[in-house]
Amino acid sequence: MDRAREPSAGGLGVGGALVASGVALALAGAVFAGGASGPGGTLPVGGIALLVLAASLVAVGLGRLPVPNLGRSGALLAASLVALVGWSGATIAWSIAPDRSWDALNKGLAFAVFLGLGAVFSVTAGRVAGRAHAARRARVIGAARGWGRATKTVPSLDEEGSRIARLNEPVDYWNALALLADGALALAVWLGAASDRRAARAAGALLAYAATLSLALSLSRIGIAAGVLVVAFVLALGEQRAEAAVRLAAAAVPAVPIALWTYTRPALVDDGLEPAARQGDALLFGVLALAGAASSVVLASRLSPRPLSVSSRRRIERALVVCGLLAAA
């Protein structure tokens, strides 16, 4: 796992920094104004991304930015997405619900625009593109996690809180929020690999803790299953998977008792309750969540940044295999 060295604006260059800011703005729009799985957020989110992409392509045409080179795999991905979007548009001709087909086409176009942004950013930022984008994603997702916990602490902040108790803010759909938390787990492992940067390790611990708590409060079965697969995949790709697993466990463990406690409080998990009926347990949840966050950072900071011994690493890797088999069962 690469160490999470976040590049500076100077390392990105002026063009890369501008494109990075535009991509971060589009990503924030997708998270906070995406409108869950409905079509309402397609135009504002896709519109922001399209403006950023159009400005970037103009800069490419003027020679201010390098020309994107997708490579063979990137070209295959782009061609597949274009074919899918084209097919979505063609189905409007015989669709029994043309308006739904239009919505699918618009979403596909938005996906294509975001793919174009990724291609432009990868060449403008150069070798630090992945790290720069991951750092910005971590900030955006971390902000989303913070707002979600705020709505559980202050129920009146959630407009749908009196109807649905499952955590869904700011995405407005619990399964989508859970999948966002799964992405946060991968970023947390990446940040935790910054063994020479205490601040990055603390940020990774907070992100892992918040993602685990969000997964539990979303009550999303598909989100939890996907989270297990994401963690397994990221750890399998990492060179120091045992160390990463220990850091991730230390960060996520404080969220488990808090989540189990919330399941015993009808005010936090039962639907159809007014905000006033949730207020008492909600405030207590906020206190416990802050205490858990502090515990997560303390546990992460107490771990030695040095690599584990060979025997310890082997024991942990065997334990990971057992945990993986149990999770699959």
Indicate whether 3 pLDDT > 70: no
- pLDDT score, position 37: 64
pLDDT tens digits along 226-274:
888 888 888 877 777 777 788 888 888 888 899 889 888 888 888 877 8
Cβ pair 184, 142 in contact under 8 A: yes
Indicate whether 8 pLDDT > 60: no
Looking from the CA of 89 toward its CB, the CA atoms found within 13 Å total 9
- pLDDT score, position 154: 81
> Euclidean distance between the first and final Cα of the chain, in Å?
28
pTM of the model: 0.74
Mean per-residue pLDDT over the chain, rounded: 79
DSSP class per residue in 182-203:
HHHHHHHHHHHT-TT-HHHHHH
Which of 263, 168, 267 has its CA nearest to residue 220?
168
Ranges assigned E (strand) in 195-315:
none
- pLDDT score, position 304: 61
CA distance 114 to 181: 20
**Contacts of range 73-76, beta carbons closer than 8 Å, 24 or more positions apart:** 74/119
CA distance 126 to 114: 18
Give me the residue label for tokens 């593109």. 129
pLDDT tens digits along 166-175:
887 777 788 8
- pLDDT score, position 7: 41
Give me the residue label for tokens 């999948």. 179
pLDDT tens digits along 282-301:
889 889 989 988 888 888 77
CA distance 269 to 219: 9
CA distances from 140 to 25, 29, 165, 168, 313 (A): 9, 10, 24, 16, 33
CA distances from 182 to 89, 99, 169, 303 (A): 31, 31, 15, 24
Give the alpha-carbon dihedral of 48, 54, 56, 59, to 10 degrees.
Answer: -150
Q: Assign 122 a pLDDT band (cuts: 50, 70, 90).
A: confident
Token output for 227: 């989270």
CA distance 319 to 267: 37
pLDDT tens digits along 183-230:
888 888 887 765 567 777 788 888 889 888 888 888 888 888 888 888
